[in-house]
Amino acid sequence: MAIGKVRYWAAAKDAAGVPEEQFDAETLRDLMSKITQDRAELARVVQRCSFLVDGAPVGKRAHDEVILADGVTVEVLPPFAGG
């Protein structure tokens, strides 16, 4: 398991109720499951989000294939300006 930080932006930040939080997860899929558990609005928002892992775009890679390393920062970016 990696220990890292997830940062939320715009609508994701509003839905999470915090700008950032620490996590422990092995993959991006694990992280998404953990942060959306019991947070229905955040679960709805992250379905439309893109993600950066230590500044690198995840793009269309499967979230279960994105392995997280210790100390990683994951950015959760909702569509901006209607995009």
The residues spanned by each domain of the chain are 2-77
- Among 55, 39, 49, 38, CA closest to 11: 49
**DSSP letters spanning 6-25:** EEE-THHHHHHSSSEEEEEE
Task: Supply angle C-alpha 60, 56, 20, rounded to 5.
Answer: 100
- Helix residue ranges, H only, 17-57: 28-36, 40-46
Q: Please tell me the pTM assigned to this model.
A: 0.93
CATH superfamily of 2-77: Beta-grasp domain (3.10.20.30)
Query: What is the phi-psi region of residue 74: left when phi exceeds 0, alpha when psi lies from -120 to 50, beta otherwise?
Result: beta
Farthest CA pair distance, the chain? 35
Q: Please check the confidence at residue 21 and state whether its pLDDT lies above 80.
A: yes
pLDDT digit string (tens) for 23-76? 999 999 999 999 999 999 999 999 999 999 999 999 999 999 999 999 999 999
